[in-house]
Structure 1
Amino acid sequence: MEPEVFVDVFRLALGQVVILVSAAIIPSLLVGLVVSIFQAATSINEQTLSFLPRLLVTLASLIFAGHWFTEKLMELFFTMVDMIPQVVG
């Protein structure tokens, strides 16, 4: 049981988390930026105006990318299961 194996597992898991969270958050950030520019151009200072478009885009990205998310998580799971002999032995 070598420490490098645990570092590899942690690196793989953290990389997957970063990729999956980025895929869900980046569209929301872009929509928030567009709404903020619109608010600045029209001098509308409503804080709740950007909430609904960001929420809808986040939900849409989760719906459309859900299959890809599941595929990536299953690949990570299978990789971790394959690494069990290295961790135990």
Structure 2
Amino acid sequence: MSDADVTQIAIQTMMVAAKVAAPILLTALLVGFLISLFQAATQIQEATLSFVPKMIAVAIALLVTGNWVLSELVSFTHTLFDTLPRLLGRT
């Protein structure tokens, strides 16, 4: 296994991790921004006001995208396990 192979696997891993985390992180970012905008407009500075809606939105995002996330991770794992024997045999 060469350095290029390891680098390619690392790049693929980071891309899959970014794709899988994006829906949840973007949902939390959007809800947090909207809550902050609401807090700035109404001058309500309550810490729990941002936590509960963000937690609910993230849970909904997990329910909606959970199947896709799981299929992406399983697909990547199958691809990685199919590729590893070929890479290790090339020493």
TM-score category by the smaller chain?
A: over 0.9
Structure 2 unaligned blocks of 5 or more: none
Normalised to the residue count of structure 1, the TM-score between the two structures is: 0.93
Quote the Cα distance in structure 2 between the aligned partners of 1:81 and 1:73. 12
- Cα shift readout 1:56-86 (whole Å, capped 9, x = no counterpart): 0001101111100011001100110121123
Partner of 2:75: 75
Tell me how many residue pairs correspond in the alignment. 89
Partner of 1:26: 26
Partner of 1:3: 3
Partner of 2:63: 63
The RMSD of aligned alpha carbons is 1.0
Quote the Cα distance in structure 2 between the aligned partners of 1:15 and 1:82. 18
Normalised to the residue count of structure 2, the TM-score between the two structures is: 0.91
Preserved contact between residue 6 and residue 87 of structure 1 (Cα < 8 Å)? no
SS at match of 1:45: coil
Sequence identity, in percent?
29
